[in-house]
């Protein structure tokens, strides 16, 4: 809280509001990386593995519109021996971004994909598909929190507070991310709850 000397005195207060909700969407990146001295063979191996991975993913109920390629790269590989650069082959990377609506199936999808050739897994994000209604609830709580703080300060200092703020600023929200857990036999996604938080800054005169 800050007080400023102006024609009318003012105070600035911050309010926060939080709502917890279960995530309903998981996105994950699955990469197939293959290497071979012959580029054509490296591409062929990669294409075969990607084809098997795509089939397995769709058989588990993921529609093709929820699967997209986010990377396809070919890079020469080199090794260094006795100060000399030696060509060792090519590396082909095909990266897929998968959107999974049934989070309970995520671990099984990851395990199946790894068994069929995926050798790089990352960018796991748990989200709420439509967070706006929940965020608006948190925003209302934040407004009430700021109002209560202003009223408490005014009552404590015996000030006559103008009930209508002269400035309202919404501060960009952030979401806390749940985490990925592994056990000895399979991959498990522990979704937990996502905390959606809103913060506002109100300026009152008195």
The verdict on 78 and 113 lying in the same domain is yes
User: Domain end: 127, 148, 174, which one?
Assistant: 127
The verdict on 64 and 98 lying in the same domain is yes
What is the model's pTM? 0.73
The verdict on 101 and 38 lying in the same domain is yes
Q: What is the CATH number of the domain that holds 18?
A: 3.30.110.170
The verdict on 140 and 191 lying in the same domain is yes
The verdict on 38 and 86 lying in the same domain is yes
The verdict on 35 and 121 lying in the same domain is yes
What number is the average pLDDT over the span 118-131? 92
CB atoms near residue 8 (< 10 Å) = 11
SS (H, E, C) 71-98: EEEEEEEEEEECCEEEEEEEEEEEEEEE
The verdict on 89 and 149 lying in the same domain is no
- Measured over the CA atoms of residue 161, residue 165, residue 167 and residue 171, the dihedral's sign is positive
Q: What integer pLDDT is reported at residue 191 of this predicted model?
A: 72
User: Domain end: 92, 127, 162, which one?
Assistant: 127
User: Domain end: 103, 127, 151, which one?
Assistant: 127
The verdict on 83 and 142 lying in the same domain is no
Q: Which residue has the tokens 């397995």?
A: 56
Q: Is 60 exceeded by the pLDDT of residue 5?
A: no
What number is the average pLDDT over the span 156-179? 83
The verdict on 159 and 181 lying in the same domain is yes
Q: Is 70 exceeded by the pLDDT of residue 175?
A: no
What number is the average pLDDT over the span 157-175? 88
H-run or E-run covering 32: strand 25-36
Q: What integer pLDDT is reported at residue 81 of this predicted model?
A: 87
Confidence band of 176 (pLDDT split at 50, 70, 90): low
Token pair recorded at residue 152? 């408490």
The verdict on 96 and 8 lying in the same domain is no
pLDDT digits (tens, 9 = 90+) for 61-81: 999 999 999 999 999 999 988
The verdict on 110 and 143 lying in the same domain is no
The verdict on 74 and 143 lying in the same domain is no
Domain total in the chain: 2
Q: Range of 7's domain? A: 2-22+130-205
DSSP classification of residue 117: T
Rounded CA-CA distance 192/153 in Å is 37
């Amino acid at each position: 809280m800050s007080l400023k000397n102006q024609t009318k005195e003012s105070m600035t207060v911050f309010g926060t509001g939080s709502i917890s909700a279960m995530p309903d969407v998981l996105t994950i990146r699955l990469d197939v990386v293959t290497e071979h001295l012959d580029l054509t063979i490296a591409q062929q191996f990669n294409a075969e593995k990607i084809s098997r991975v795509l089939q397995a993913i769709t058989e588990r109920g993921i529609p093709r519109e929820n699967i997209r390629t986010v990377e396809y790269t070919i890079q020469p590989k080199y090794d260094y021996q006795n100060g000399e650069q030696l060509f060792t082959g090519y590396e082909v990377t095909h990266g897929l971004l998968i959107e999974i609506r049934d989070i309970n199936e995520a671990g099984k999808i990851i395990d199946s994909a790894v068994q069929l050739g995926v050798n790089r897994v990352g960018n796991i994000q748990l989200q709420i598909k439509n967070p706006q209604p929940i965020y608006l609830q948190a925003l209302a709580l934040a407004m009430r929190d700021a109002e209560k703080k202003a009223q408490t300060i005014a009552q404590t200092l015996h000030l006559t507070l103008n009930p209508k703020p002269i400035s309202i600023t919404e501060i960009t929200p952030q979401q806390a991310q749940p985490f990925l857990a592994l056990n000895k036999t399979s991959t498990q996604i522990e979704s937990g709850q996502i905390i959606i938080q809103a913060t506002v800054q109100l300026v009152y005169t008195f």
